[in-house]
Amino acid sequence: MNIKEEIKKYAQELIDLRRDFHQHPELGFQEFRTSEVIEKYLLDCGIEVMKIATTGVVGLLKGSQEGATVILRADMDALLVSEENDLSYKSLYEGKMHACGHDGHVAMLLVAAKILAKHKEKIKGNIKFVFQPNEEEAGARIMIDEGVMENPKVDAALGIHLWTPLETGKIGISEGPIMGAHKNFKLRIIGKGGHTSAPQYSIDPILTAASIIQNVQMIQTREINALNPTVIMFGKINGGTAANIIPEAIDLEGTIRHLYEGNDTSEEKPYARFERIVKSICEAHQAHYELQFIPSNSVLINHPQLTSMVRQEAEKVVNDPQKDIVPYVCMAGEDFSEFSLEVPSTFIFVGTGNDKKGSNYPHHHARFNIDEDSLAIGVELHIRSVLAYLNKM
C-alpha cells in the first residue's frame, strides 16, 4: 500500500469532514450528532461499531491474522467559546466552538479508519478506533470504566493532537512525561461583610484573597524543585455587589498543574502546600475558607519503546527528519493520560501553526483555527504507527 497516495484520494473528503464537524460543535457528552456521523461512516467502511459512555463510539477492525489490539483515539467535544473567525464553515451554534482541534482529530481518524479497512488483509491483530466524548473533563476514564479496554483486550494506545504552537510540517515527540497532571480548585474566602466607610467592623475577603494569590506563587518558585515544573494559576475571581460594600465572601477558581507523577503522594506535595498557605493567611486575616480540588487528569507519560517506534514512522512522514521532528513537552492537560495508565501509550503533536493562514492562535482562543494541510500528516501517522506496532508484535 502506498500510504501517501491512498490519503491523496481522500484529501477533499478529509477537509469536508473536518469542516462539517467544525460547523456543528457539541459539548462534552452532548456529541449526539457527531457520534451519529461517526457511526454511519464506520459502518459504511465495514467496521463493527459499539456505543459507549453516552456519546462515545468505538469501531473495531479485525485483521486477517491473530495479533495484538491497539487503540487509535480521537476526542470529539467542543468548548464554550463564541467563535470570532470569519469562515464559510464557522460554528453554527452561538457560544460553542471547536477551539482545540478536536474536529480535525475526528476527521483524521475517520479517514485513517477507511483506508485501514480497505487493506485489512495487511493487518495482523485488531484496531479499536476510539472516538471519545468529553476530553475536557476526563471522559477517557469513563470509557475505560465501561470496558473500552476489553473484548478484545487492548495492548497499546496511540493518540495525536493538532498543535498550533508547532509549525505545520513539524511533529513533536518525546519520551516520558509530556503533558501535565491537572486539578482545578474552587476556593471560597469567607469574611464579614460591611460598609467600606468602616472596614474596622468587617473582615475583608478581597484583601485576604489578594494575599493568597500572591503568596501561593512562592510554592512553585521557592518550595518545589525547579526541575519538577509546577504551575499555579487563578483563572476566575468573583465577589462583591457594589463599590461601597465589603462582601461577605469571595470565590476564586484556578488550576494546579505539574509535570511529575503523584499528587500529594509525591515529595513535592503541591496541593498540601497550597492549602497550608490558604489556611495560614485566612487565620492571619481572621477569615475562614472552603477549598475543593477537582481532579482532571494525570500526568501523560509516553512509553519509551513505543515512542521510539512511532518516531521512526514519523521520519517517513516529514520532509526533513532532522529539522521536522522535535522534542516537545508542555504543561497542558490531556486525559489520554488515562489510557497511558492502563497500557503502553504514545501521544504526539502534529504542528498546525501557520501565520499566513491565521492558524497561529493558542488553543481555546475564539480565533483558533488549524492549517488543514496538517490533516493528511495526522492520517499518515495514524496508519504508519498502528501498522508498525501490529506487525512487530
Q: What pLDDT band is residue 385 in, cutting at 50, 70 and 90? A: very high
Question: What pLDDT shows up at residue 138?
Answer: 78
The 10 Å Cβ neighbour count of residue 1 is 12
Who's near 168: CB < 8 A, 6+ residues apart? 351, 352, 353, 354, 359, 371, 373, 374, 377
**Where in the sequence of the chain do the CATH 3.30.70.360 domains occur?**
181-297
Taking 90 as the threshold, does the pLDDT of residue 286 lie above it?
A: yes
Determine whether the annotation assigns residue 282 to a binding site.
no
Largest CA distance in the chain: 81
Determine whether the annotation assigns residue 195 to a binding site.
no
**Where in the sequence of the chain do the CATH 3.40.630.10 domains occur?**
3-179+299-392
Question: What pLDDT shows up at residue 296?
Answer: 85
Question: What pLDDT shows up at residue 295?
Answer: 85
Taking 90 as the threshold, does the pLDDT of residue 1 lie above it?
A: no
The 10 Å Cβ neighbour count of residue 356 is 8
pLDDT digits (tens, 9 = 90+) for 186-233: 999 999 999 999 999 999 999 999 999 999 999 999 999 999 999 999
**CB-CB contact of 204 with 246 (8 Å):** yes
Query: Any bridge partners for residue 325, and if so which?
Result: 171
Share of the chain above pLDDT 70, in %: 99
pLDDT digits (tens, 9 = 90+) for 124-169: 999 999 999 999 887 999 999 999 999 999 999 999 999 999 999 9
pTM of the model: 0.93
Over residues 65-83, the mean pLDDT reads 97
Taking 70 as the threshold, does the pLDDT of residue 302 lie above it?
A: yes
Determine whether the annotation assigns residue 66 to a binding site.
no
pLDDT digits (tens, 9 = 90+) for 10-61: 999 999 999 999 999 999 999 999 999 999 999 999 999 999 999 999 999 9
Question: What pLDDT shows up at residue 264?
Answer: 65
- All three cell numbers of 327, joined, read 522534542
Determine whether the annotation assigns residue 102 to a binding site.
yes
Q: How many CA atoms lie within 13 A of 23 on its CB side?
A: 9
Question: What pLDDT shows up at residue 261?
Answer: 78
Share of the chain above pLDDT 90, in %: 94
Domain 181-297, architecture per CATH: 2-Layer Sandwich (3.30)
Query: Which H/E stretch holds residue 293?
Result: strand 288-297
pLDDT digits (tens, 9 = 90+) for 339-364: 999 999 999 999 999 999 999 999 99
Over residues 69-98, the mean pLDDT reads 98
CATH superfamily of 3-179+299-392: Zn peptidases (3.40.630.10)
Over residues 258-282, the mean pLDDT reads 88
**CB-CB contact of 162 with 109 (8 Å):** no
Question: What pLDDT shows up at residue 263?
Answer: 64
Write out 43-82 in H/E/C secondary structure. Answer: HHCCCEEEEECCCEEEEEEECCEEEEEEEEEEECCCECCC
Over residues 385-389, the mean pLDDT reads 97
Distance CA 383, CA 393 (A): 16
Determine whether the annotation assigns residue 22 to a binding site.
no
> What's the mean per-residue pLDDT of the chain?
96
